[in-house]
Structure formats: structure tokens, C-alpha cells
Amino acid sequence: MLFAETETLDIAPGAVLLRAAVEPIAAELVAEIERLVARSPLRSVMTPMGKPMSVEMTNCGTVGWVSDRRGYRYEVNDPLTGGPWPRMPHLFRNVATSMADRVGYPGFEPDACLVNRYSPGSKMGLHQDRDESDLSQPIVSVSIGLPITFKFGGTRRTDPARSIVLRNGDVVVFGGASRLAFHGVGTLRKGVHEVTGGCRYNLTFRRV
Ligand code: MD6
Ligand code: FE
């Protein structure tokens, strides 16, 4: 499947931003999100430290990322419904596989997609994505709706971080030397976007 051929920007070794790559299908991605949240709703979760996260989350795929007082981990069942997470839509899988392929990660087959919903005031502190057993595989991250500032540092928490604004349809692929880089996003500002209204969605595809 073909998506927009757009500018690519190297953020760091192994990390690439594909500007507006899925902008043409952003509304279709939102329609898929709405279908899956009807089955596994967005919910607020606690960090292992007992603080509520400001983004709401859900998942699709054969496993989903969960956080609670017991820690961060992947689970085959949604703790809210007790049943499996919704299947990953074909469109999602195609996006993830083709974006990874485009920047030099052929054969990426995600088994988990974390869906984050940011409303005004939501943010995500610097973190590493390291709950996956296969760190040879990249993560593909899709931004939909309102813009937000993405912070991208090094493999140590104290490494300097650069900031990039992520907008609707932007895709970040991050693997290789950047797979364990610290990253986070600033606070979502109030606004209105034609595709999502007053929020931002982020989809992160992982091979767990
Ligand atoms: C976000 N993204 O963009 C948060 N993680 O809302 C992430 O935490 C992320 O963009 C791993 C790889 C790419 C990402
Ligand atoms: Fe992350």
C-alpha cells in the first residue's frame, strides 16, 4: 500500500521522522480508533508509583501494554473487559509495516498497538520503551490531530534532548541505536483540529 511520499528528517541515528506521511488517511485512522475503543475503551491508568497518567490509553493487537501498581507489562487480555484486546486493524498494520520498511526496517510485524489519547493538559514525561523482548525491532509512532512537542534525548536520562513539533499524520520510526533513547512529549495545548476535534491521538506499534 502507498502512503504520501513526503520529507524525511533524521532525528538521531536509527530515528526518522516521516513528515505528514499518513495525513491523507488520518480520518480513516480515527474511524478505526473509534471502532476499537467501542470494544476496549480508553481509560486512565496509574503508574507503578501510584500517580495517574494524564493520557488515556487502550490497545489493539495480540498483546497490550498495561500499567498499574504492579508495574509496566504486556497482557494478552484487557484488564477492563477481561477478554482479548481488539484485533489490530489491517490499515494499522499496513501503516506500521510500510513506514518501517521505508526507512530501512523491512519485515516489521507489530503484535501490539498502544493507543494514547491526549486532551488539553495531557503530557508524557521522558521514558524509554523497553518492555518489549525484541529490541532489534523498531517502534513506529503515528501522530493524529492536534500538534505537540516531542522531546528526543539519548540513552541516558540526562542526555540533552532535542524538541520537534509532531503534527497530524507525522510518523516517527525509531530503532537501531535510538531504540532505547529517552523521549517524551510536552503538554497538549487547547485547540481544534479538523480530524480529531480537541485532542491528539498517538499510535505506537511494537513487536513485543
Ligand atoms: C507520543 N510517543 O508521541 C508518545 N514511544 O505521544 C512515544 O512514547 C513513543 O513516539 C516510542 C517510540 C515513538 C514514540
Ligand atoms: Fe514511548
CA Rg value for the chain: 16
Regarding the beta carbon of 185 and ligand 1, being less than 6 Å apart is answered yes
pLDDT of residue 6: 84
Q: What percent of the chain has pLDDT over 70?
A: 99
Residue nearest to atom 6 of ligand 1 (CA): 202
Q: What is the pLDDT of residue 2?
A: 67
Whole-structure pTM over 0.85, yes or no?
Answer: yes
Instruction: Please write the tens of the pLDDT for every residue from 137-152.
Output: 999 999 999 999 999 9
Distance (Å, rounded) from C-alpha 103 to C-alpha 126? 24
Cα(126) to centroid of ligand 1, in Å?
Answer: 10
Q: Which three cell numbers stand for residue 87?
A: 484485533
Tell me which residue of 137, 98, 122, 128 sits closest to 202, measured CA to CA: 122
**DSSP sequence for 165-206:** EE-TT-EEEE-GGGTT--EEE-PPPP--BTTTBS-EEEEEEE
Q: Whose CA is nearest to atom 8 of ligand 1?
A: 184
Res. 117 pLDDT band, cuts 50 70 90: very high
Starting at the edge strand that comes first in sequence, how are the strands of the sheet with 200-206 ordered?
8-12, 15-18, 171-174, 139-145, 200-206, 112-118, 52-61, 43-46
Residue 141 in contact with ligand 1 by CB distance below 6 A: yes
Residue nearest to ligand 1 atom 12, measured at CA: 139
Quick check: CB of 58 below 6 Å from ligand 1? no
Among 204, 205, 207, 208, which residue has the most ligand 1 atoms within 8 Å of its CB, making it the best to mutate?
204
Q: Cα torsion for 114, 52, 186, 119, to the nearest 10°?
A: 70
